[in-house]
Amino acid sequence: MSSHGLALFGIAIPACLLFAGSIVLVSRRRSLASWLQLIGSVGLMMVVLTHIAEAFELMPGMHWGLEASAGHYLDLGSAVLGLTLFPIGYLAHAFAR
């Protein structure tokens, strides 16, 4: 396995765990904080999926890995969404208790 594959594997596992935990949280407690966590974890999963698509050269029209391409902005937007909304939802959930 290449170093890129190992890095992708190292990112995919925590993102999947956050996504699964967010689904459980939303199913138990339907609050704004839990929904923010879920939407943020979906953003992180999108980052994983864009990197999988780049590694396996899926949808070459997205021009994965190139600056100013649709793939680059999808990856960047998903990362910003995930790294913003998930912590906000987590902190809101923690302070609500």
Residue 1 has pLDDT above 60, yes or no: no
pTM here is: 0.87
| pLDDT for position 6 | 72
| Domain ranges, residue 63 | 3-96
| pLDDT for position 19 | 96
**Three state DSSP letters for 6-67:** HHHHHHHHHHHHHHHHHHHHHHHCCCHHHHHHHHHHHHHHHHHHHHHHHHCCCCHHHCCCCC
Number of domains, the chain: 1
| pLDDT for position 43 | 97
- Indicate the average pLDDT of the chain: 90
